[in-house]
Structure 1
């Protein structure tokens, strides 16, 4: 049997969908109650609205069976608890896109795996670091800071440069645990100079591993115990944007980055460094 399309479902239930999003207060009440039940006074504080404005909206949500009264407080019903996280996720995702719309619009986000794309809202607190005329090495300087402050480093990339390789070599020799997942194309380049000498010098270090991804890699990502840095290819090109990275110290972003790293390691094989 052919599945029902989302457009058909929308046509059937558009009144309920529009009821949630047609006003600021309806959405704010649902999101506010997502963290737990609240009295009317707390909802007034959260929304900045009067009781006279709030009560009709609460009644609407009660009629939809999303909200109920519990011991003089208001709370989400069981189906309200199903709906609210999806609203919260969508609102936060829109916030991520609005904060750095040019970054997302101008880069190939399809290089990010679908599971990570679905959780993109965790990057809300990230900031764009970019090279500008006054600071032409801003992105690289940030990369060095991230490496030097890290207790451990996990990376995924399809690009490398001698200066980046030297920076990684420095922290590995300093005792930091480093694991990298690289594309097959990059693995082939690492077998040649100037990278082969660097890899040979790190061969005896147990705190350094490189994995080769069996799937394409179209991003550059570094995640540590305190940082996430994400770089992407320019949209519609095969050119990696070395001049702009999205950087965050937020715990949710770091967790997002680590999950992306685990996605690639699950589909990778360790790179054996052959003696010269």
Structure 2
């Protein structure tokens, strides 16, 4: 598809979405029919609107092939289902961003791939935790508590942090942590090599798999079977350890896995500098 065709397709898509979202009734009807077909009486009870208003909205949606009538029930067409799915995703994305607006607005998102950003709605149940001026370690302590109760971890670590390394080594030595995979840059790898303890306990440990990527990254992601967490950098390039997103639900862990897999695919061929 050429750029011109893509723009024309996007224009048509925008026109359709605008047509739906500018009408409260049209949008509500699509959402009401999203899971199962319903008859007029069911729609009237759910939407608390008179039959004439609902029938007018249904007629408009039938005209553009988004809804069809099957016997006494109304249901979404294939086009209607696809458009409503995207509408639901848009609403959930908006909710996820609005719920944790401070976190997303304050940070650099440029290293989160576009396709993964589009699925930010998967983090709609994530909890935002912020340290305070009276206790700067709230976010960090919450994070340490989470990894202390996990037996396996996958981590994108964008900083050289002795505090994090010491806690990881402690968990490994206590045999609480059975396996950890860490994505780091070449620069961080070389810094670890210069520290005898870190080199021995991390780089030479059979429980630790180090994946090296060439370019710096502004994402600190940790995931396990139990949770996922995300911290980011400020837009001025400084790492922010005071704010963290944490989630335990399957949708959030699915989002974290996609981000992990993207960066694990960026590894050096030799996996060593």
- 2:48 aligned with 1:54, yes or no? no
| 1:11-90 equivalences in 2 (<5 Å) | 16-44=16-44, 46-90=46-90
**CA distance 1:258–1:32, change in 2 (3 Å):** same
Kept in 2, the 8 Å contact 1:227–1:247? The answer is yes
CA distance in 2, matches of 1:239, 1:5: 41
Q: Distance in 1 between matches of 2:3 and 2:198?
A: 55
Q: Which consecutive unaligned segments of at least 5 residues does structure 2 have?
A: none
CA contact (8 A) 2:230 2:245 kept: yes
CA deviation after TM superposition for structure 1 residue 214, in Å? 3.1
Q: Report the CA distance shift for 1:184/1:46 in structure 2 as closer, same or farther (over 3 A).
A: farther
CA distance in 1, matches of 2:185, 2:46: 47
Cα offset, 1:202, TM superposition = 4.1
Q: 2:192 aligns with which of 167, 190, 193?
A: 190
- Residues 155, 222 of structure 2: 8 Å contact kept: yes
Q: What residue number does 1:240 align with?
A: 239
Query: How is 1:104-253 mapped onto 2 (pairs within 5 angstroms)?
Result: 104-173=104-173, 174=175, 175-193=177-195, 196-202=196-202, 205-235=205-235, 237-253=236-252
Partner SS, residue 211 of structure 2: strand
Inter-CA distance 200–49: structure 2 relative to 1 (3 Å threshold): farther
Equivalent residue number for residue 261 of structure 1: 260
Residue by residue over 1:156-214, the C-alpha shift from the partner in whole angstroms, topping out at 9 and shown as x without a partner, is 02113222111111222314221110122222222223xx4123024554321111113
Instruction: Please give the alpha-carbon distance, in whole angstroms, between the structure 1 residues aligned to 2:157 and 2:41.
Output: 50
SS in 1 for 2:182: strand
Aligned-partner Cα distance in 1 for 2:11–2:54: 28
Q: Name the TM-score, length of structure 1 as normaliser.
A: 0.86
Q: How far did 1:82 drift? A: 2.3
Deviation at 1:219, TM superposition (A): 1.0
Deviation, 1:22, is 0.9
Structure-2 change in CA distance of 1:7 and 1:189 (3 Å): same
CA distance in 2, matches of 1:178, 1:244: 23
Q: Structure 2 length normalisation: TM-score?
A: 0.87
CA contact (8 A) 1:233 1:240 kept: yes
Q: Deviations over 1:82-128 (max 9, x none)?
A: 21221111111111121122221211111212221121111111121
**Paired residues of 1:62 and 1:68 also in contact (CA < 8 A):** yes
Q: Distance in 2 between matches of 1:140 and 1:60?
A: 53
Do the aligned partners of residues 113 and 185 (structure 1) sit closer, same or farther apart at CA in structure 2, a change above 3 Å counting? farther
Once the 2 structures are TM-superposed, how far is the Cα of residue 43 of structure 1 from its aligned partner? 3.7
Secondary structure, counterpart of 1:241 in structure 2: coil
Deviations 1:47-103 (CA, angstroms, capped at 9, x unpaired)? 454544333222211111101122432221011122122111111111112112222
Aligned to 1:96: 96
Contact conserved, 2:192 with 2:198, CA < 8 A, in 1? no
